[in-house]
Every structure is written in C-alpha cells, then in structure tokens.
Structure 1
C-alpha cells in the first residue's frame, strides 16, 4: 500500500487518518470538510456559546470544501479533472441541495467530464459543518506521487 498523503494546504483531518491514500492509479480522499486551512474556522458559520450551529452559509461551505479537495488532489499529484466519484454528505438536504447543485455545476461545467456523484442526507457531521465530501480520483497511467507526500 502507498504512503498516506498529507498537505498543509488543506485543514488537518479531524481524526486519525490521512488526507488521502493512493492504491494503484486510484486516489482515495478521506472525508473533506470546509474548514479553512491552518485554522478551525468554518466559512459562513455562526455558533452559539455551546458550539452549536445558529446559522450557516451553504454556498460558502461548498466553495471552501471544493478548494480543500483541490488542495489535496494537487498535493497528491492529481488534478480536479481526475475526479471520477464524489459522495456528498449534507446535513440539510431539503434546504441545501439546490445550492450544492448550482455550485457543483460551476466547478464541473462540462457535463461530459463530471464525476459520478451520490448525495446523502445525514443528521450531523463530526464538526459543526453542513457539508463533507468523499472523493475518488483516477490518475493517468504513469502518474507518480510528488517527491514528498507531506506538502
């Protein structure tokens, strides 16, 4: 099995797992949330004194999570266009699905090259976020990891 992939350009995982791991020409990303790299800040989130979500901006979180996925892909020597499967977890399917679809279409403008996708509604995620992505990328034949898998 390949070495785990970590990058300082994405927020650290919230548990004991790597940002990604490569197996053959497939790259498996762990769940990626919208936290800002280098901080615990979550774009567009207002928390109460107990750390519960009072309000959030799903569009800001969508954009942040896509940028975090991009940073992990690049650290692993992959590109956005290498994504073949995306699973999205939304904590408010009814209110957030349309916004997610709109932002997703901006990041994947060509329908012929959009990855497969599954959207799942969940009650909660491990941190006070409204969205998390789980992604798989297929790397071109002969693609190699960057010299260091910690970037």
Structure 2
C-alpha cells in the first residue's frame, strides 16, 4: 500500500495529538465514542490509518498530522458513525467517509487501507468512500487544490491542473 507523507504547513507538524484513539476492535470504538459529547457525534471525525494498519480517530477539528503523531499514513480523511442500537458496541457503523485531508492529500485509491482497518476492528462500513476527493498540485504556482466537479483549474492562479495524479 502507498504511504502518504505529510505535505501541509510545517508549523502544524509538531502539534500535540488531542484525544486520539487507536481503534482495533468494536469495543475500542464504542468506548471512545461513548466519551464524545453528544453534539460531536453528529459530525465526522478526523481519521488516519497508521503504517501498522490501525485506525486512529480524533475530534473533527484536529489536524490529521497530529492524529498521526507527525508520521506517514496509509490513509487519511473524515469519518462519521451511526448506530441502530444506542450505546451498543455492535450497533456502531461507518455511515460516511472521505479521503479529505489537505495535510496528506491521499488518493481515493487508499480505500483498501481504510477498509482493512475497519474490517480488522469489526466495524461495518459502506464499502468505499462516500465522498472521494481528488487532490492536484498546480504546476504553475505550486498550490495544492481539491478538484471540484471535474474542474481541473487551479483555485489560485486558474492554470490547468494535471488530470492524472
């Protein structure tokens, strides 16, 4: 699997991790989610899959690089959960997941790492990104861009972005 190095601002690289959980089982997930304020459960969480294949979760406003403790990752993005049985470890499932991380800019092809981490933790998931994001670096100005609606134009200088990764 491809490794993604941190490509975001240098000043964020050394941020301390904030309330990061390594999720290896359904019980790990249920225990960590039980500590979250109710309002926080309504929005997606920051996640990375570390090089060992472990899913690491942090509150949404956490930086991916802090969640990864500054290390390379196999995947990164945002992940939301739903449950059919409130408070039940067996009831939690991933209901939305993206690869949106401007710090790591992972390709949608990182999904197998996410699926493997969730499968290892016994957590049901949608089988693919519910919102896959394409990142491209502008060859004219160097800015990282998220491609929206197939528009391969730099948001900063309007130069064409590479179509292929």
Q: Please report the TM-score for the alignment, with normalisation by the length of structure 1.
A: 0.33
Q: Larger Rg: 1 or 2?
A: 2
Higher relative contact order (CA 8 A, sep 6+): 1
Q: Please report the TM-score for the alignment, with normalisation by the length of structure 2.
A: 0.31
